[in-house]
Amino acid sequence: PKIVEEEWILFFEHDPIHQSCTVQFDGKHYRLKESININE
């Protein structure tokens, strides 16, 4: 899928732990690849 191939960054507006992340596919499931914190 495009989101994995292009390494899109997902933003979580209401998640207190993860502000944003990239996604990976492990052959069966989509999973958080890298958690990214964004400073204001």
Domain ranges of the chain: 2-36
Q: What is the reported pLDDT for 1?
A: 86
pTM for the full model? 0.76
Greatest alpha-carbon pair distance for the chain in Å reads 35
Q: What is the reported pLDDT for 40?
A: 61
Per the CB < 8 A criterion, the answer to whether 21 and 3 are in contact is no
Please give the DSSP secondary-structure letter assigned to residue 35: E
Contacts of 36 (CB under 8 A, 6+ apart): 9, 19, 20, 21, 22
Contacts of 39 (CB under 8 A, 6+ apart): none
Question: Over the stretch 1-40, which tens digit does the pLDDT of each residue have?
Answer: 899 999 999 999 999 889 999 999 999 999 999 999 987 6
